[in-house]
Amino acid sequence: MTEADKQLLTGYIDGVLSPTEKQRAELLLRTSAEARQLFSDLVSDSLRLKYLRREQLPTDFADRIVAMVREEVARLAQRQLWRLRIRRWAPVAVAAALLPFIAWATFVLVSQILTRPDSPSVALPSQPHPQQQDFDEPGPTAPDVNQIAKHGWAKLEQNVRTAWQQSIRAGESLRQLLPRSVEPFNELARAAWNELEPLVLGDWNPAVPDIGNPTVLTSPLRDTDRQLFRSLEFSLPPIFSWQNFGQSEVQQLLGSNRFLVLDVSCRDGRHTWERVQAALRTQKIPALLDSRLKKFWDHRQNTVYFVYVENLSRAQAEDWLLALHREDTRSAGKSSSEAQIRSILVQPVDAEVRQRLAELLGLPIGLLPEATRSPSAASDTALTEDTLRKLEQLAAGQPIRSASAQAVAFCPLRYPPSKEIQKFRQQRGQLRADAYHLVLIFRPER
């Protein structure tokens, strides 16, 4: 077998031959036993390489890399800040260093003026004294000391004034130059801060609260009676006033879709959660609270947060919403206007909402429910089935609880996924197509 034939076979293994070459290779394999043997060996080698035992890195490898990267970023930023500080103060230091030099130069200049014997300012062509001229012998005239001193002082004064004016001018130009020279460093400082900000403030994703249409939620319309909305001609997302919330509103709300995104306007985040949790407890739905959200509350930060409840039966969803209303209004006492929740607005479930939710929960988008319309006629059947199931469980002495329904409350922070979110991901059951899934976005008053 020639070298070209062998090369043909390796190309055949990788599937990179042209149709003609492929035909030639196949002919070779049909006719030559040696070629068949080599081909078989080469395929075997290739497969052995492919299925070579795979090693794994330690599980914390990525975390260590991230920590190293963080350290490096922080170190670079620190270095940049120091460089910036040095450069900012450099002109001042230069000016400070120049001042003694200028003073020394002035001193040297003045002393030279004063001490130079042949200086024209000192050796003035003085007029001879009239009396001296009369009585003394003609000879070299003695300089008039007073005049010389006077003249010297005038000259000195002039020089000092000139130096002063020059230093004022130099100072002025320095003052104009400084802000311009500092500006690039300010930009550097801003750039450094941009690098540092996520490290200092955490990985806050400000885009997340904009889920859906937040402008509607903060509008003054939220306290208005919903009757008003019915009279409006243009289309608004359905909004339910909490005061008038009841069985028919729940039916209406759940009648639209199996996957609902509800925007809840409330007073205080933590107190509202306590009531949500109490309502979940009445339905025996296990709920997890993100520890980071708790931290926000501990620091008195009234942040927006999400509650995701999945795999609810129709009856469970109805009961839970009614229980939430009951808990909230009962806790508020006689005056229902003191309730934590003010209104509920139904958001459209679009791709963006699902994407955001997937990001926050760290789940592939395919594992989240899709917006499917609730079957209008099936609601009663579902309710009956659920009631029957509960009765059967009661009769058998079993506790009434959902097999897979569970809830998680979390804040819109993507990284790092909290241990509660990880636990939620591990514990969640298979997503039921016939179940109801709710995402509640709680927006407390600022």
Partner 1 sequence: MADEDRLLIDRCLQGHVEAFGELVRRYQDRLYNALFRFLGNPEDARDVAQEAFLSAFRNLKKFRGRSQFFTWLYRIALNHALDLKRRVKTSRALPEAEDSPHPNELQDRSVSATPDWHLQRREEDERLQQALAKLSNEYRLVLILRDLDELSYEEIAKVLDIPIGTVRSRLHRARMELRRLLQEMEKDSANSTYLPELQR
DSSP 309: E
Q: Which residues, 6 or more positions from 178, have their beta carbon under 8 angstroms from its beta carbon?
A: 91
Shortest Å distance, C-beta 200 to partner 1 = 11
Residue 95, phi-psi category: left (phi > 0), alpha (psi -120 to 50), beta (remainder):
alpha
Of 53 and 446, which CB lies nearer to partner 1 in the complex structure?
Answer: 53
Contact assessment for residue 84 and residue 185, using Cβ atoms and an 8 Å cutoff: yes
Shortest Å distance, C-beta 208 to partner 1 = 13
SS3 342: strand
SS3 413: strand
* CA atoms of 391 and 213, how far apart (whole Å): 42
* Beta partners for residue 239, in sequence order: 345
Shortest Å distance, C-beta 348 to partner 1 = 24
Of 8 and 280, which CB lies nearer to partner 1 in the complex structure?
Answer: 8
* Beta partners for residue 240, in sequence order: 344
Please state, in angstroms and as integers, the Cα–Cα distance from residue 414 to each residue in 52, 67, 205, 379, 410, following that order. 37, 17, 7, 36, 10
* CA atoms of 414 and 79, how far apart (whole Å): 29
Tell me the DSSP string of 200-213: HH-SB-TTGGGSS-
Of the candidates 427, 425, 408, 405, the one whose C-alpha atom is nearest the C-alpha of residue 313 is 405
Shortest Å distance, C-beta 198 to partner 1 = 5
How many CB atoms are closer than 10 A to CB 356?
Answer: 21
Contact assessment for residue 323 and residue 445, using Cβ atoms and an 8 Å cutoff: no
Q: What angle do CA 253, 254, 257 make, to 5 degrees?
A: 105
Radius of gyration of the chain (CA): 44
Could you identify the residue written with the tokens 């885009």?
Answer: 207
* CA atoms of 329 and 337, how far apart (whole Å): 8
Chain contacts with partner 1 (rule: CB under 8 A): 6-7, 10-11, 13-14, 16, 38, 41-42, 45-46, 48-50, 52-58, 61-66, 68-70, 72-73, 194-195, 197-199, 203, 414-416
Contact assessment for residue 308 and residue 438, using Cβ atoms and an 8 Å cutoff: yes
Question: How many CA atoms does the CB half-sphere of 405 hold within 13 Å?
Answer: 22
